[in-house]
Amino acid sequence: MLDIQNLTKTYSSAQEHIAVLRGVCMYVSAGESVALTGESGSGKSTLLHLIAGLDEADGGSIRIADTEVTALGDRDRAAIRRDRLGLVFQQFNLIPSLTVADNLAFQSRIAGRHDSRWQNELVERLGLGNLLERYPEQLSGGQQQRVAIGRALAVRPPLLLADEPTGNLDEATADDVTDIALDLVKRTGCAFLMATHSTRLAARLDRKVRLSTGLIS
């Protein structure tokens, strides 16, 4: 589902050039969950941003199913994010002016793929039934992250990307959110790539890869 070959990315400042990714190669199969680990500053977020088309690589290729993301322009990369990717971040990025129900449906409605039965199933599994009319500011961190996961999966994406999704949560809530994410990934059959600094959470996924000095080890 995700195939990355020889991916490179360098950031330049007035004083230096910093090679963040130096030829990354990796894959994630459909239905597989993979933990992306590595020290802070190792390039995990950069890699996820490149996969999502939020930034452009200097070289190499990223393929999501049969689409080469690195060959697309801005508009087509935005369409990939809308239609074929689920994105979950450490900062929940919910829309403050929308209720929980409307946040959950936001991406699927924009993509023209809203399925009320699937949304109802997500609401039940995420334990959000009594929170649908609330706004993000009225929710705990764990509740907001559940909404973010539901929004990301509402389009039934073939690939779910999560960047430190439990970084702002206590250990018990992080475990709960991870349980829910893994269960829903299994039920949808999507590929799941999660960047995390937690070795404990990483061990719960199917496979673990480490990003170090710009390479996968």
pLDDT of the residue at 217 = 86
Q: Which of 179, 216, 212, 155 is nearest to 33 (CA)?
A: 179
pLDDT in tens, 140-150: 999 999 999 99
The torsion region of residue 127 among left (phi > 0), alpha (psi -120 to 50) and beta comes to: left
Amino acid (one-letter) located at 26 = M
Cα gap 40→208, rounded to integer Å:
16
In the prediction, which pLDDT does 168 show? 85
- For residue 65, give its domain range: 2-216
Buried b (16+ CB within 10 A) or exposed e, 132-164: eeebbeebeebbbbbbbbbbbbbbbbbbbbbbb
The predicted pLDDT at position 16 comes to 85
Assign residue 137 the CATH number of its domain. 3.40.50.300
**166 or 61, greater pLDDT:** 61
- Residue at token pair 């910093």: 18
Q: Name the domain count of the chain.
A: 1
| Residue range 68-125, pLDDT digits in tens | 999 999 999 999 999 999 999 888 999 999 999 999 999 999 999 999 999 999 999 9
Give me the pLDDT at residue 100, please. Answer: 98
pLDDT in tens, 168-182: 888 988 898 899 899
Sheet holding 85-89, edge to edge: 85-89, 159-163, 191-195, 33-37, 207-212, 215-216
Q: Tell me the pLDDT tens digit for each residue of 14-62.
A: 788 889 999 999 999 999 999 999 998 899 999 999 999 999 999 999 9
Whole-number Å distance between alpha carbons of 17 and 29? 33
